[in-house]
Structure 1
Amino acid sequence: MNRPGTATGVNFFTGDLGAKRLGLLCTLVPSARVVGLLLNPAFGMEAFDEFRRSVGSAAQSLDREVIVQSATTDVEIEAGFAALTKAGVSALMVQNDPFFDSRRSKIIALSSTHKLPGIFHIREFPADGGLMSYGASLADAYRQVGVYAGKILRGAKPVDLPVLRPTKFELVINMRAAKALTLTVPPAILIEANELIE
């Protein structure tokens, strides 16, 4: 099932997106009192710190504990999952990061092995077997790039064009993954979802 994505008042650049993801994850997995946060400090410490602060603040308001685990290599990803599981984490958030994107299959497999329901930033994760994602629509971003390219080809100067921000956000849920994790997707999530992968 697909529904068009829309901007939902989320400020993509202030870390509010992390808070929104945590809220969605806690709605779907209410029993998750301790949530793991997988971050990559190599992506940039400013982004690392901002995302951690945003999620930490949201966790306090939701009466949840967040355990942060850093990973910059494949070995550290595997060790990070083991450490989070040992710490009693029962749900997972993964930072939007190109390195983690390139290790999508590994992260999804580890999530499944450790039975950690996770939320990610792009639909490719749930499309490949992860539980859910919430973030900017890549299809819409590619469309915006095409519009920009068209303007430049028609003579516009790149310096005169405004910087674009994501305007379309989408919530995608893999219903098979939810069933495998014995999770019942609540109506509030079903109503908000833009796509349900059966």
Structure 2
Amino acid sequence: MKRREFIGLVVGAAQAWPLAALAQSRMHRVALLTLEADEEISQFTGPLRDLGYVEGKNLNLEHRSAEGEPRRLAGLAEELVQTKPDVLVAGWGTLAPKALKAATATIPIVFATVGDPIGAGLVQNLARPGGNLTGLAASPRTSKASSSNCC
């Protein structure tokens, strides 16, 4: 291949790259489970919007709340799993992540602010959570891998 052909190929690929990226954009399906109805989902959607994920444009957000009734979480978790989201997000605390963990072992689950994810039985350890769960620990156990971020 001659130098000019090579440069033309590289320039052409560089110009086509944004078009290819645009064509590959798709609707991302996220399901959110919370215990309380008044939990601020804007704490969740705001940062996603900052990253370019806009509900209705490239983000489909399904939200279910147990409205303060923990016994409803299991049914709502099953309902969200049936929507086949790309990722499940568990609201603040331990109960929502536990319900989602019981509902699926294949869809990735991200939990927010669980005090002790090891003690709650959500992860095996902080360095290597195992399974399909990951997230943030509010007060992780003291260990070699201990930090304010979990998993």
TM-score range, shorter chain: 0.5 to 0.7
Tell me which residue corresponds to 2:19: none
Question: How do residues 1-198 of structure 1 correspond to structure 2 at under 5 angstroms?
Answer: 33-41=28-36, 45=38, 48-49=39-40, 52-60=41-49, 61-63=51-53, 64-71=59-66, 72-74=69-71, 76-98=72-94, 100=95, 104=98, 106-112=99-105, 115-120=106-111, 121-122=113-114, 123-124=117-118, 125-127=122-124, 129-139=131-141, 168-172=147-151
Q: Which has the higher contact order (CA 8 A, sep 6+)?
A: 1
**Cα contact 1:32–1:91 (8 A) shared by 2:** no
Q: Which has the higher helix share?
A: 1
The two structures have a TM-score, normalised by structure 1, of 0.43
1:34 Cα shift?
A: 1.0
Letter in 2 for 1:53: S
1:69 Cα shift?
A: 0.8
Distance in 2 separating the partners of 1:65 and 1:130: 21
Mark the runs of 5 or more structure 1 residues left unpaired by the alignment: 1-30, 141-167, 173-198
Q: CA RMSD in A?
A: 2.9
User: After superposition, what is the alpha-carbon deviation per residue over 1:67-109, rounded to whole angstroms, capped at 9, x for unaligned?
Assistant: 11112233x22321232234342211111225x17x73x4322
The two structures have a TM-score, normalised by structure 2, of 0.54
**Cα contact 2:74–2:103 (8 A) shared by 1:** yes
Which structure has the larger Rg over C-alpha atoms? 2
1:32 Cα shift?
A: 8.3
**Cα contact 1:118–1:132 (8 A) shared by 2:** yes
Mark the runs of 5 or more structure 2 residues left unpaired by the alignment: 1-25, 54-58, 125-129
